[in-house]
Amino acid sequence: MRKGFSVRHQPGFTAIAIACFALLYLPVVTLVVYAFNSAPSVAAWGGFSLHWFEVALTNSDVIDASVRSFQIATVAATLATVFATMAALATTRTRRYRGQTFIYAFINQPLMVPEIVTAVALLIIVAQLKAVTGYSGLGYLIAAHTAFCIPFAYLPIRARLENMDLSLERAAADLYAKPLYTFRRVTLPLLWPGILGAFMLAFVLSLDDVVITEFVKSGGQDTLPTYMLGQIRRGITPEMNAISTAFLLLSVVIVTLFFVVSRKCT
């Protein structure tokens, strides 16, 4: 009997897989290891130490930038998820109408545009608004991050809606349930894993963004990524490794929480 095709049995598959994993994770492992380096050099190992984590935790600039990053990411991810949910419902839970494909492409078009183009466009708009209103607060960064994250949040929510069985929603409609009640008691519980995934994705993207933040921010509004970029320009120290390691740990925690919560919701 002829065996079915399996890519694992192809020549060189194991070597290529190991090489790919090495390229992906070896730099990350090196970063984490040197975050515990006692020496001030990022290239010479001086022994195990938590010194650079202590330096980062006592650095007021790092703390301020971290708090600002979390504030912006939380608000932007929440707004982006709400807008993306409404857009996904409008493009999946309605009858086919003229221009629906164009709207879908229009929402996803920012995914294909280089981020630097979006950043320059936002810079022009924000500069004009600052000149007219005189306001230079965090609202511009929150609005910019929200606009940037909406297409990314839209994809998992739309995918979840397209894979959901419509029979329960139709049954609710047959029982004379109002659309809002049906959404709250039927659609939303089924859609919750997609919404949670969208929020997590938008949160991480906003937390990690450098290009748009660098163009839109005003003086004294550094986020943690832009602060790190500025410090690297002056010289790399293991403190940057420590901050990056903390960022990595946060990402692992977020992904773990997402899988735990999503499994409970399904």
* pLDDT recorded at residue 237: 77
With 0-12 CB in 10 A as exposed, 13-18 as middle and 19+ as buried, what is 146? buried
Query: Using N-to-C axis directions, what is the helix angle for 224-234 and 238-265, rounded to 10°?
Result: 160
Domain borders along the chain are 56-265
* pLDDT recorded at residue 173: 78
CA-CA distance, 214 to 226, in Å (whole number)?
7
* pLDDT recorded at residue 1: 44
pTM above 0.85, yes or no: no
Query: Could you read off the pLDDT of 187-222 as tens digits, one per residue?
Result: 888 888 889 889 988 998 998 899 999 999 988 889
Residues 122, 147 contacting (CB under 8 angstroms) = yes
Output phi, psi for 217, to 5 deg: -65, 155
Residues 236, 26 contacting (CB under 8 angstroms) = no
| Residue ranges of the chain with per-residue pLDDT less than 70 | 1-5, 262-266
CATH code, residues 56-265: 1.10.3720.10
Residues 181, 140 contacting (CB under 8 angstroms) = no
* pLDDT recorded at residue 110: 81
